[in-house]
Structure 1
Amino acid sequence: MADDGGDGIKVRFEVLDGRLRGVRGDSWIERLHTGSRWTEGPVYFPAGRYLLFSDIPNDRLLRWDETTGVVGVFQQNAGFPNGHTRDCQGRLISCEHGNRRVTRTEHDGSVTVLADNWQGHRLNSPNDVVERCSDGSIWFTDPTYGIESDYEGHQAVSEIGARQVYRIDPVSGEVRAVATDFLQPNGLAFTADETQLYVSDSEAKHIRLFDVAADGTLTGGDVIATCTQGTFDGLRVDDSGRLWVAAGDGLHCLHPDGSLLGKLHLPETAANLTFGGGQGNTLFITATRSLYSIRVNFAGARYPRR
């Protein structure tokens, strides 16, 4: 478990399966920021050596500068932002609860709306997003958390009447529902070869694994893991194919088949994570009120080195 330490918070990887042995990291985790209401959506930009992350209820996007350690407001009145990703051209892709849309911030600072409706009905509240770099398609989840109250969005009735996973075509811009049988789809991540997709269902407290066809069609969708503490939220794949998932007691590390290999315990409920740093081996974790980081001996899958 975690307890207060000198320059940070002492932590350990709890090994539950021998296949996790050899995974190591610093003996402490740094709290880079605290004082937010609910942090989410960390995304690291190697070229600028900074990390952006959301403080959803405070309707702002925050920026941590790696060179100075300073955290400041990057954008206020940001549409109650949640999840983000950096696309393969280095642009920011964002899910906005309040505006009920997915956007891309161009290199010149202008904003392009990628999706705000499905079949003429407004989206619920896009939650998390990832790009499939092999074809440039954008994939996102659309639960109803942002329209259930005014806490992290604007209360409204779902126009779609469902909570789905979507794919945005890179050429036509068509928004297609690719998975329609979720209770509350949340985090999502491709395997390194982009032939499979993991999606967490926070309401059902489990993770499903889909096979991805060349045209983006999903098949399978079997449940491979069920959360043992809290619920599953954001997730990422590392360079060994393991799955790191935010949960109630920190990060859970899963084998690709869903077996629980171990945990990185945190003092707050984890919401999401990303890999960053010059070698891709720094884990950044958004957890309740705070942003944490820890250097580890593994990296994110497909991570671009400086």
Structure 2
Amino acid sequence: MDGIELTQPGFKRLVLPNASLDLLAHGCRWTEGPVWFGDRDELLFSDLPNNRVMRWSETGGLSVYRQGGDFENGHTRDRDGRLLSCSHRGRRIHRTEPDGSITSLVERYEGKRLNSPNDIVCKSDGTIWFTDPHYGIQTDYEGGKQEAERPAAVYRFDPRDGSLRVVADDFQGPNGLCFSPDERRLYIVETGLQFAPDPVQHIRVFDVDEDGRLGGGDVFATISPGNADGIRCDEEGNLWSSAGDGVHCLDPGGELLGKIAVPTTVANLTFGGRHRSRLFLCAGQSVYAIYTNTRGASRP
């Protein structure tokens, strides 16, 4: 299969020999934060340095969804289907209402401003989990240099009572995150200090208890070449990770099953399409997609 590397025989049933890698969009600066809207048959993603959110659909092609969103990075949907976004320059998590207005949800913790929320997921109980590294306020390219007020951390926000708490604070640069299909595990990417000569870079896995507290935190896998950034689980619990050479698929034990080659570094990814079996890839200036023989994990 052209562009497919089978590290383990089990990867063969997850990919399709006749499925091509399709170029959907080009001409952005750095694509990030893909999120699928099945009820509208469209993909939203960030063109981060250009400070805009883009829309792609099979019938409508590429268009601008929102220009000037305070440099949004990661996106997801809440339990009511509303768009949740991580704002670098605004240093907050905000929600897009059905009428298009913006509601700020989280801006501060213990009186101090967040850094630059990066990636975000919503658990089936409605709680919102997000990473908050310093990346977005360390350069002018992705939002503008600002002073950090807090160490990097991972947070859990409950919109029902407005509570916000740190769930992990032993990261240098927390990045992508996702739950296992049963939500008993949380995977979090560590991409380390941005300008360090040899940053710590790997994926860690945590146990999630009924109160939303984390345990464990061992290294799950290290991605090479490049490093992990965005990650997603399929319905079988396999973890699909961005990488320097494309996409890597790992089984629930952390063993590499195989790779999908992409012409440029992949930053983030998500499952979508009619059956949640199409893998959308944000890669450099472009967005690609490829049909797979598995489906993205659905929330309980």
Identify the TM-score tier after normalising by the shorter chain.
over 0.9
CA contact (8 A) 1:234 1:273 kept: yes
CA contact (8 A) 1:40 1:83 kept: yes
**How many angstroms does 1:233 deviate by?**
0.2
TM-score with structure 2 setting the length: 0.94
| 1:57 counterpart SS class | helix
User: What does 1:158-173 align with in structure 2 at a 5 Å threshold?
Assistant: 158-160=148-150, 162-173=151-162
**How many angstroms does 1:303 deviate by?**
6.7
Aligned AA (1:164): A
1:15 is aligned to 2:11: no
| 2:50 counterpart SS class | coil
| 1:207 counterpart SS class | strand
1:117 is aligned to 2:95: no
Q: How many residues align?
A: 292
CA displacement 1:101-143 (0-9 Å, x = unmatched):
111112222222111111111111000000011x210000011
Of 126, 142, 145, which residue of structure 2 is paired with 1:152?
142
1:193 is aligned to 2:193: no
| 1:274 counterpart SS class | strand
| 1:19 counterpart SS class | helix
**How many angstroms does 1:11 deviate by?**
4.5
> Residue 136 of structure 1 corresponds to which residue in structure 2?
126
Could you list the structure 1 runs, at least 4 aligned residues long, displaced by more than 4 angstroms after superposition.
none
1:63 is aligned to 2:55: yes
CA contact (8 A) 1:244 1:252 kept: yes
Cα gap change, 1:123 to 1:11, in 2 (>3 Å):
farther
> Residue 167 of structure 2 corresponds to which residue in structure 1?
178
> Residue 88 of structure 2 corresponds to which residue in structure 1?
97
Bigger drift between 183-192 and 24-33 goes to: 24-33
1:38 is aligned to 2:34: no
**How many angstroms does 1:19 deviate by?**
2.6
Distance in 2 separating the partners of 1:91 and 1:301: 19
1:77 is aligned to 2:73: no
TM-score with structure 1 setting the length: 0.92
Distance in 2 separating the partners of 1:109 and 1:60: 15
CA contact (8 A) 2:19 2:291 kept: no
| 1:54 counterpart SS class | strand
| 1:90 counterpart SS class | coil
| 1:165 counterpart SS class | strand
Bigger drift between 109-118 and 177-186 goes to: 109-118
CA contact (8 A) 2:73 2:118 kept: yes
Distance in 2 separating the partners of 1:85 and 1:274: 10
Distance in 2 separating the partners of 1:123 and 1:192: 29
- Identity percentage over the alignment? 51
> Residue 51 of structure 1 corresponds to which residue in structure 2?
43
CA displacement 1:39-93 (0-9 Å, x = unmatched):
000001011111100011010000002223x101111111111000012211101
1:292 is aligned to 2:292: no
> Residue 5 of structure 1 corresponds to which residue in structure 2?
none
**How many angstroms does 1:155 deviate by?**
0.2
Of 278, 283, 286, which residue of structure 2 is paired with 1:282?
278
> Residue 221 of structure 1 corresponds to which residue in structure 2?
217
CA contact (8 A) 1:11 1:29 kept: no
**How many angstroms does 1:13 deviate by?**
2.0
Aligned AA (1:278): R
User: What does 1:250-261 align with in structure 2 at a 5 Å threshold?
Assistant: 250-261=246-257
Distance in 2 separating the partners of 1:11 and 1:272: 22
Aligned AA (1:167): R
1:262 is aligned to 2:252: no
| 2:136 counterpart SS class | helix
CA contact (8 A) 1:12 1:27 kept: no
* Cα RMSD, aligned residues only: 1.4
